[in-house]
Structure 1
Amino acid sequence: MRGTTIAIEDNPDGQGRRAALIVDGQLDDLLIDPPGGEALVPGAIVRAVMNRPMKGQGAATVRLPDGATGWLREAKGIAPGTPLTVQISTHAEPGKAIPVTTRLTFKSRFAIVTPGAPGLNVARAIRDEELRDRLDLLARDGMDGTEGLGLVIRSAAEAASEEEVAADIADMRALAEAILAEDGRSPELLVAGPDAAERAWRDWPAPDTVDDVPGAFDRHGVNDQIDALRAPRERLSSGAWMSVEPTSALTAVDVNTGGDTSPAAGLKATLAAIGALPRALRLRGLGGQIVIDCAPITKKQRIEVEAAARRAFKRDAVDTQFVGWTPLGHIELIRKRERLPLREVLR
C-alpha cells in the first residue's frame, strides 16, 4: 500500500487513544496514551507548590495535583510554599519524581507561543523568502501588544492557509495569557497534555488519508506490526540484524553481521543499524541512555559511523544526543523520555 495514512482508534480499555503513522504500508510512528487515563503526561501544564530544595543542587521537589511529586531543576531562590506554574517535560523514570520545568511552551500545529522567551521566528525549514515575509507579518500582527511572549511559526505552516496560521497564533496566545493570569495557591491541572490523536495532528506531516473508524489498526496491519515489536530483534539488509533490549539502567543495542563474513560486513551492518535505530526506538517508546555495541569496525571507520548517527537522529522526532564512544568502542546516546515504553502502555 503506497502513500501515508494515519490510523486512530480508542485504547482497548476505553481510556485514551492510539495513533499510527503508516508510510507505504510500514509502521513509521506510534503514539499510545498511558493506561488508566494518566493526566500528568508531557505537555500538561499544572500549578505546583514548591516543596523542599535539594541542598547544593539548585533543584527542588514540588507538589503536583493528585499527590504526585515533581522534580524542578531550576529552583534556585524559590521559597518553600510558593505556587508556580510548571509544565511536565518528560515521563518519570520508575520510582522517581516527574520532571517539570517553568519554561512553558504552548504548542499547536502551526504555532508555538513561548512565555519568557520573546522574539518572533519562522522555522528554518521554510525557505521561500516571500512566504517567510508573509508569515513574519502574520506573526507581528498576531502578537501585537503582547509583553514577554515569543512566537515560533512551525514548518507545517508552509502548507497551511494564512487564515489557519493566524487562528493558531490567536488560540495559543489566548491560552498562554489565560494561564499566566492564574493566581491560585494549590496544586491543580491547568492544561491537559495532548492525547495520542492530538499529538498526531500536531506533530506528524499531513497524511494522504486518515482512518479513524473503529478497527483501523486491524485494517492497516498495525496490530500485527506492534506484535512484532515485542521481540528485540530487527532485521537489517544482507542478513544482518540488531537486537534492541531495554534494561532498568539503559537500552542495549547489539549489531550483528549475520552470515556475512566479508571484510566490509561490520561497517555495512553498523550503518544499516544506525539508519534503522531511530524508528526502532521511536516505535518501542525507548529513551534515556542508549548504548550501541557495533559490529566489528576500525577506529578509522568510527568517523563515518558517527556522522551517520548524527544525520539519522537529526531527522527523528525525539531529541537524541550523540554522547561519544566508550573505551570499549560502544556508542553512547542520550534520548529524551517523551514516551512511555511500549511494553508499559500495552499492559
Structure 2
Amino acid sequence: MKGSQIILDHIGDREAAALMVDGKLSDFLIDGDAPRPGTIYRAIADRPVKGQGGMFLRTPDGNVFLRQVKGLSPGQPLLVQVTGYAEDGKAIPVTQKLLFKSRYAIVTPEAPGLNISRSIRDDDLRDTLLGIAHEVMDGEEMGLIMRSSCAEADPEEIAEDIAAMVDMARAVMADAEGDMEKLTEGDGPHVEAWREWVEPAEIVSEPGGFETHGVLDALEDVKGARVPLEGGAYAFVEPTRALVAVDVNTGGDTSPAAGAKANFALARALPAALRVRGLGGQITLDLAPMAKKDRRGFEGALRAAFKADSVDTVLAGWTPLGHYELQRKRARVAVRGLI
C-alpha cells in the first residue's frame, strides 16, 4: 500500500501506535511497565553517589537518578522529569531541565527566549510565527521553541497549543514544595504519535487496525534479529546486556564492492531498525569488509540517515578494530518481550 498510515491500537492491554510507510513498518511505539519519558515528579533528594557524579532521588515510583547535583542536599524537594528508559537494574534517569512538549510547541521554564525551528527558513513565515509567540507569551518569563510542524499548521491551533503548554508549565512550576508526588504523566503511544508523526497520513483508530493493516505481520519480523538490506545483503541487530551488536553480511554478492554496498545499505536502514525495536544505548557496528577510502562516504550516509530520526543519536566513530560505534538515547521501551 502506497502512502502513510498511522494505526492506533493495542497489543493485549498495552497501548501501541504504528507508522506504516508504503506498506513497511517505519516506526512503532508501545507502552512499557516503567514510567513514561516526560513524566514529572516532585522528588525528594536522597543520597549522593560521588563516584557517578549524581544523586538518587525518591519518587512514588521508586528511586530515580539525577546527574549534576551541585547545591542539593538530602531531604530537599525538587522537580524532575524522566528523560528515558533505564537499563535493567538501574535507576530511571531524570533531569531538572523540564520541557513541556506538544505538537507545535515546547515550553522551557528554565530557558527564556523565543525560538523557531531552524528547518523553517521562510522569513515571512518566521515573522508570522514570532508574532504568534509574542502574543501568547506576552509577560511570560518562560521560554518557547516553535517546532517544525508549525510550518503547515493553522495559526489558531498553534496559539492554542502554546497556551495549553504554558498553563501546564505554570501549574507544575508552582507546585514545587511538598512531599514526593507524580505531578504529570508522560505521553502514551497514541498521544506521542499525534505529537511526533506530523507528516500527512491516514489515521486508523478502529480496534483491530494492527491486523488489517499488516502491523502484526511486520512485528513478527521485528521479533527476530535479521534485517534484510538492499541488494540481497542483510544484517543482524542483537541487543545484549552491555550493547546492541549489529553484524553486516553481503549475502550472495561476491563483487569487489560488495562490502561497501552492504554497509551503505545498512546505514540507510539502521535508524528504522532501531526505532521499531525500541533500542538505544551503546551500539557497535561490525561492518562488512570495505576499503578505508569508503569510510568517509559511509559516515556521510549514516549521518544523513540519522538526521531525519527523532531519537538523539551520537555518531562516536571508529574503533581500533574497525568497528563503528554510536550512542543512542534510550527514548523508547525495548519491544522484545512485550510483543
Same fold (TM over 0.5): yes
Q: Distance in 1 between matches of 2:225 and 2:53?
A: 39
Residue identity matched to 1:81: G
Q: Deviations over 1:246-304 (max 9, x none)?
A: 11100110011111111111101100011100000000010000000111011221111
Residue identity matched to 1:196: P
Please point out which of 263, 276, 292 is paired with 2:256.
263
Q: What is the TM-score with the length of structure 1 in the denominator?
A: 0.95
DSSP 3-state at the match of 2:315: strand
Please point out which of 316, 319, 322 is paired with 2:309.
316
Gaps of 5+ in 1: none
Residue identity matched to 1:317: S
Residue 3 of structure 2 corresponds to: 3
Q: Distance in 1 between matches of 2:313 and 2:279?
A: 11
DSSP 3-state at the match of 2:292: coil
Please point out which of 18, 30, 33 is paired with 1:32.
30
DSSP 3-state at the match of 2:293: coil
Does 1:116 pair with 2:110?
yes
Does 1:211 pair with 2:209?
no
Q: How many Å apart are 1:214 and its aligned residue? A: 0.6
Q: What is the TM-score with the length of structure 2 in the denominator?
A: 0.98
Does 1:172 pair with 2:165?
yes
Q: Is the 8 A contact 1:5 1:22 kept in 2?
A: yes
State percent identity of aligned pairs.
Answer: 52
DSSP 3-state at the match of 2:170: helix
Residue 64 of structure 1 corresponds to: 59
DSSP 3-state at the match of 1:5: strand
Q: Distance in 1 between matches of 2:89 and 2:241?
A: 11
Q: Distance in 2 between matches of 1:116 and 1:344?
A: 38
Does 1:275 pair with 2:268?
yes
Q: How many Å apart are 1:207 and its aligned residue? A: 3.4
Q: How many Å apart are 1:55 and its aligned residue? A: 2.2
Q: Is the 8 A contact 1:320 1:333 kept in 2?
A: yes
DSSP 3-state at the match of 1:95: coil
Gaps of 5+ in 2: none
Q: Is the 8 A contact 1:11 1:18 kept in 2?
A: yes
Q: Is the 8 A contact 1:324 1:333 kept in 2?
A: yes
Residue 70 of structure 2 corresponds to: 76
Counterparts in 2 of 1:43 and 1:344: CA distance versus 1, 3 Å? farther
Q: Is the 8 A contact 1:5 1:208 kept in 2?
A: yes
Q: Is the 8 A contact 1:105 1:114 kept in 2?
A: yes
Q: Is the 8 A contact 1:6 1:207 kept in 2?
A: no
Residue 144 of structure 1 corresponds to: 138
| RMSD, aligned CA | 1.1
Q: How many Å apart are 1:57 and its aligned residue? A: 4.4
Q: Distance in 2 between matches of 1:86 and 1:78?
A: 13
Q: How many Å apart are 1:324 and its aligned residue? A: 1.0
Equivalent runs, 1:1-347 vs 2, <5 Å: 1-13=1-13, 16-35=14-33, 38=34, 40-55=35-50, 57-66=52-61, 68-147=62-141, 149-346=142-339
Q: How many Å apart are 1:344 and its aligned residue? A: 3.4
Q: How many Å apart are 1:234 and its aligned residue? A: 1.0
DSSP 3-state at the match of 1:345: coil
Residue identity matched to 1:89: T
DSSP 3-state at the match of 1:234: strand
Q: Distance in 2 between matches of 1:84 and 1:61?
A: 12
Of stretches 228-237 and 95-104 in structure 1, the one that deviates more from structure 2 is 228-237
Q: Distance in 1 between matches of 2:252 and 2:11?
A: 41
Q: Which runs of 4+ in 1 moved over 4 A?
A: none
Residue correspondences, number: 339
Q: Is the 8 A contact 1:110 1:165 kept in 2?
A: yes
Q: Distance in 1 between matches of 2:98 and 2:91?
A: 19
Q: How many Å apart are 1:332 and its aligned residue? A: 0.3
Q: Deviations over 1:173-214 (max 9, x none)?
A: 111011000044211110100000000000012433111001
Q: Is the 8 A contact 2:84 2:329 kept in 1?
A: yes
Q: Deviations over 1:24-75 (max 9, x none)?
A: 111110001115xx4x211111110000111254411100113x10100021
